Amino acid sequence: MSKRLYDGARIYSFVSHELSHGLLNPMKVSSILNEDLVRVNLAGDTKEEVINNIIDLLAHSNKVKDLEKVRQAIFERERIMSTGVGKGFAIPHGKTDAVSDIVAAFAVTEKPIDYESLDHEPIRLLFLLVGKDSLVGAHIKLLSRISRLMNKEELRKRLLQAKSSSEILEILREEEMSYLDV
C-alpha cells in the first residue's frame, strides 16, 4: 500500500471514529437557521430590495450587534461581484465584526428576480451568510457546503415548492443527513 493510500485510510479511520463518538461536529447549514430566519415568498422587485429584506430577517438573531453594518458588508461584497451563482440561486455573503458569530437567513422570493447572476437567469432562492472577521475558515466551509447543497436540482425544486419556514428547515435537514462532511 502506498504511503498516500495509507495516510488517507488513517485519516478516514480517525474522522469516522471522531464522528461516531460525537467528537467532531461539522457545522451544518440547518443548525444556523431557525424559523425566524427563513422566509417563504420574500417580497421585493429588485436585487437590492430582496437583499435588504433578507438582511432584515437577521433582526431576529441575537448574534447581530449592528444590522446596518451587516447590510454595509453585504452590499460591499455584492459590488465586487454578483453573488448570483446560477441555477436560480444567490448567496449574498460578507464578513464583519458586527456579528458575534456566524449568522444566516434563507428565503424563497415571491417571484423571479433579475439578480445579475453568472448564468443571466433570474433567482428565487437566496441564502444569506454573514461571518465574523475572525472566523474566516468556518465562513468558507459553510459557503462551500451551501454551494454543494444548492447545486442539487431536486433540492432546489423542493425548496421552491415549500409552503412554510418549517418545511424549508426540514428539507435542508433531510438533505444534510444524506452525506457526510468534515
- Report yes or no on 21 lying in a domain: no
- Report yes or no on 57 lying in a domain: yes
Which residue in the list 17, 21, 93, 139 is annotated as catalytic? 93
* Angle CA 47–38–27, to nearest 5: 105
Q: How many CB atoms are located within 10 Å of the residue 129 CB?
A: 22
**What pLDDT does 62 receive?**
94
One-letter amino acid at 131 equals G
**Contact, 147 vs 181, CB < 8 A?**
no
- Report yes or no on 110 lying in a domain: yes
Among the listed residues 111, 101, 100, 117, the one whose alpha carbon sits nearest the alpha carbon of residue 42 = 111
DSSP alpha helices (H): ranges in 47-164? 47-57, 67-80, 136-150, 153-161
Q: What domain range includes position 60?
A: 27-177
Helix (H) or strand (E) holding 127: strand 123-131
**What pLDDT does 123 receive?**
97
**Contact, 115 vs 79, CB < 8 A?**
no
- Taking CA atoms, 102 is separated from 5, 19, 161, in Å, by 35, 22, 27
5-28: string of b/e by CB count within 10 Å (b at 16+)?
Answer: eeeeeeeeeeeeeeeeeeeeeeeb
User: Is position 120 annotated as part of the catalytic site?
Assistant: no
**What pLDDT does 139 receive?**
64
70 forms beta bridges with none
- The number of distinct structural domains making up the chain is 1
- Report yes or no on 94 lying in a domain: yes
Among the listed residues 14, 8, 24, the one whose alpha carbon sits nearest the alpha carbon of residue 181 = 24
CATH number, position 85 = 3.40.930.10
CA atoms of 180 and 141, how far apart (whole Å): 14
- pLDDT per residue, tens digit, the chain (182 aa), is 444 444 444 444 444 444 444 333 456 777 889 999 999 999 999 999 999 999 999 998 999 999 999 999 999 999 999 999 999 999 999 999 999 999 999 999 999 999 999 999 999 999 999 988 766 676 678 777 788 888 889 999 999 999 999 999 999 999 888 765 44
- Report yes or no on 93 lying in a domain: yes
